[in-house]
Amino acid sequence: MTLRLHNFFRSSSSTRVRVALNVKGLSYDYVSYKLRDGETRAPAFLRMNPAGLVPALEREDGLVLMQSLAIIEWLDETRPEPPLLPGDADGRARVRALAQMIACEVHPLNNLRVLQYLGTAFGANEAAQANWFRHWVSTTFDALETQLSHPATGRYCHGDTPGLADICLYAQVWNNKRFEIDVARWPTVSRIFSALDELGAFRDASPPSQPDAA
């Protein structure tokens, strides 16, 4: 099956899907969109994904999957090995919750279109946008660090197998680097990021490793 990933190297939710594809050992065509140039607002893209957002994963049969966590759950269901979620319901609830702390509390507030709109609506300059970004990262990463001081945390967020929560953590820490947020403030997050960064599936999905990296 040929998969085509519509994405952007620096997009955090794109990074998530790239990691998941790598973990599952799936190759894909890489299609890049310059977000700052509005390329995902072009009519052809909107016909594919009316939300005008990357990532979108296009299948050979034309079906377009959207929303990074939904795409990753679909990958995990249709290609179960290696798994990205634990085998028990309580474990899955924990991993999904950790992932959603990032995917629902940090990233939605900090993506490019939101930062740009802060400029439009409130005249926020680059420094004010950066402060906004750091505020929401700090708020949730403080809580995430506490949640990770839990016996279920292992080498990675949940035991010793990298999964959905790790994918979100890894992508967000890369995003944080752009705003000079030192992840060392959160020792467990920092330790897990370093462990993940040693894995080829993660490292190869990181923003600087992509063909469209500036």
- Summarize as ranges the residues that interact with its own copies (CB under 8 A): 50-53, 63, 65-67, 69-71, 73-74, 77-78, 89-90, 92-93, 96-97, 99-101, 103-105, 107-109, 114, 117-118, 121-122, 124, 128, 131-132, 135, 140, 142-143, 146-147
Return d(Cα 175, Cα 9) in angstroms, integer: 11
Least distance between its own copies and beta carbon 64 (Å): 10
Least distance between its own copies and beta carbon 53 (Å): 8
> Which residue's CB is nearer to its own copies, number 77 or number 204?
77
How many helices (H) and strands (E) would you count in the chain? 10, 4
Angle ∠(131,188,69) on CA atoms, nearest 5: 70
If one counts every other C-beta atom within 10 angstroms of the C-beta of residue 16, the result is: 28
> Which residue's CB is nearer to its own copies, number 50 or number 211?
50
Least distance between its own copies and beta carbon 191 (Å): 18
Least distance between its own copies and beta carbon 89 (Å): 5
> Which residue's CB is nearer to its own copies, number 26 or number 199?
26
> Which residue's CB is nearer to its own copies, number 64 or number 213?
64
| Tokens (6 digits) for 177 | 């680097």
For β-strands 3-7 and 29-32, DSSP reports them as: parallel
> Which residue's CB is nearer to its own copies, number 140 or number 172?
140
**Sequence-distant (≥ 6) Cβ neighbours of residue 208 within 8 angstroms:** 9
Cα distances (Å, whole numbers) of residue 6 to 33, 40, 43, 53, 180 = 7, 9, 15, 9, 27
Return d(Cα 143, Cα 51) in angstroms, integer: 30
Least distance between its own copies and beta carbon 45 (Å): 12
